[in-house]
A = this chain, B = another copy of it.
Amino acid sequence: MAADRDRSWSPPTISEVAAEAGVGRASAARTLGGYGYASPELRDRVLAAAEKLGYRTNALARSMSTGISHTLGVIVADIGNPFFAGVVRGISDTSRARGFDTIVLSTHEELDEEKAAIGVLVDKRVDGIIIASAALGRDAVDHITGTVDRGVPVVLLDRAIEHLNLASVVTDNREAARRAAELFIQNGHRRIGFIWGPATTEPVTTRRELSAATSNNLWSDGERLRGYLDALDDAGISFDPALVMTEEKTEENATHSVARMLDLPAPITAILCSETDATTGALRAVRASGLRYPDDVSIIGFDDSSWAAVMDPPLTMIEQPMLELGNRAAEILLDEIDGGNQTQLMHTLESRFIERSSVTGPPPLRSRNP
């Protein structure tokens, strides 16, 4: 039916529709744009003409004159990461329901890419930005404050930036980690490994040094570590730097670190993993050491997955409310765009503790080389 479309075809404009319908542009624009008045008969003529010509509104032109683009910008480290993918799905669903589309940019956890990404979004005149910033403790965040200053609303996602005074939507990282560590402790564990802590090349032998390293860490990771330390403190267990991984955060390093911790004179009997890669890395080390969980080591990991449930034995995990995180972030941003005043700044969603079978008491007596 549209087979006869010319090669130099260009989409019909409101003027063409108006001409076809024999009315003025403005009238056509009013009925097509859904604003202002138009008599039923005129309306019908316009609609018919539009239909006939295959008219589609040009959102760009509309944005130009209205100044609003009905588009949200989303910046995450990696859209390929299941966690962020889930969050983006949440953002996407609720913004779509409110008439907004999203353009999402991945920064690969690089601050420079993040700055560029913000630039792109600002240039494209998005109506607001949701960002899981790659900024570490000491990093400057002018690119974010600058954006807010330009009048573009920003909400922080998953990673808060403490002094920034911006709405943030996060999960209860600290509480969740603490709860996991407490479960270990209740089960009698005192040597609990934490994968992973802040990546640093500096030696970390004191708690003060750990603190210092953490302050230059991703906020969410730092919170998780703090929760772990909280539990230790409450139980009067002294902090042992050998039990916190400080290598770069990769699955492979997790494996190495756990192997080392398992091989200590006083080996770990439990492992708290702060991410999927940390968990799978730890699992590899346990297996390679010829040990089994939970009998030899108990395990809890962040970020549940359908796989964790079919492991043998199934893993006790901490599930993050990814969709809800996205939903909330979008809602808050959209409300702000609609002119609503933000009352609450920090929105903390509860993660779900899923107890399965990877936690039990420490082995009665285990020495390095029996």
| Interfacial chain B residues near A276, Cβ < 8 Å | 306-307
Whether, in the assembled complex, A305 has its beta carbon less than 8 Å from a beta carbon of chain B, the answer is yes
* Cβ contacts under 8 Å, A101 to chain B: 103, 105, 120, 124
Contact A125 B310 (CB under 8 A): no
| A92 interface contact, C-beta 8 A | yes
Which B residues are CB-close (under 8 A) to A365?
Answer: none
Given A56-B119, A280-B307, the answer on whether A323 and B86 have CB atoms closer than 8 Å is: no
With A103-B71, A276-B306, A310-B287 as known contacts, state yes or no: A56 contacts B92, CB within 8 Å.
Answer: no
Of A73-81, A163-171, A184-192, A327-335, the one with at least 4 CB within 8 A of chain B = A73-81
Knowing A60-B64, A85-B81, A123-B57, the reply to whether A284 touches B312 (Cβ < 8 A) is no
- The interface bits of chain A over 335-346 (1 if a CB of B lies within 8 angstroms of the residue's CB, else 0) are 000000000000
A79 contacts B71, CB within 8 Å?
no
Residue from B5, B106, B310 in contact with A92 in the complex, judged by beta carbons closer than 8 Å: B106
Contacts of A3 in B (CB 8 A): 149
Q: Is the pair A11, B307 in contact by a Cβ cutoff of 8 Å? A: no
Interface size class of A (residues with CB under 8 A): 35 or more
As a 0/1 sequence over residues 93 to 112 of chain A, the CB contacts with chain B under 8 angstroms (1 = contact) are 10010000111111000000
Q: Is the CB of B5 within 8 A of A149?
A: yes
Residues of B within 8 A of A284 (CB): 309-310
Report the copy number of this chain in the oligomer: 2
CB distance from A58 to the nearest CB of B (A): 6
Pairwise interchain contact A11-B150, C-beta atoms closer than 8 A: yes
Provide the residues of chain B in CB contact with A105, threshold 8 Å.
92, 96, 101
Contact of A122 with B by CB under 8 A? yes
Closest to A106 in B: B92
Per the bound structure, the CA–CA distance linking A364 and B90 in Å amounts to 49
Q: How far is the CA of A228 from the CA of B150 in the complex (A)?
A: 58
Q: For the complex, what is the distance from the CA of A345 to the CA of B218, rounded to whole Å? A: 45
Q: Mark A124-165, 1 if CB is under 8 A from B, else 0.
A: 110000000000000000000110011100000000000000
Is A22 among interface residues, defined by CB-CB distance under 8 A?
no
Whether A85 and B92, one on each chain, are in contact in the complex, defined by CB atoms closer than 8 angstroms, is no
Interchain CA distance A101-B11 in the complex, whole Å = 23
Residues of B within 8 A of A309 (CB): 280, 284
Q: A280-B309, A310-B280, A311-B311 are known contacts. Are A106 and B79 too (CB-CB below 8 A)?
A: no
Measured between beta carbons, the chain B residues less than 8 angstroms from A283 are 310
Select which of B78, B102, B151, B308 is within 8 A of A103 by beta carbon.
B102
Select from chain B the residue with minimum beta-carbon distance to A93: B106
Our pick among B10, B89, B306, B323 for the contact of A280 (Cβ within 8 Å) is B306
| Interface: A37 (CB within 8 A) | no
**Residue in B106, B149, B305, B306 whose CB lies within 8 Å of A89:** B106
How far, in whole Å, are A125 and B312 apart by their CA atoms in the complex? 51
Question: Residue-by-residue, is A1-43 near B (CB-CB < 8 Å gives 1, otherwise 0)?
Answer: 0110100011100000000000000000000000000000000
Which 7 residue pairs of A and B lie closest in terms of their CB atoms, listed nearest first?
Answer: A80-B89, A85-B85, A307-B307, A2-B149, A283-B310, A59-B123, A103-B103
Q: Can you add 8 more A-B contacts, CB < 8 Å, to A71-B103, A312-B312?
A: A9-B150, A82-B85, A89-B106, A93-B106, A101-B103, A284-B309, A307-B311, A310-B311
The 6 sampled A-B contact pairs (Cβ below 8 Å) are A11-B150, A58-B125, A59-B125, A80-B85, A92-B106, A102-B104
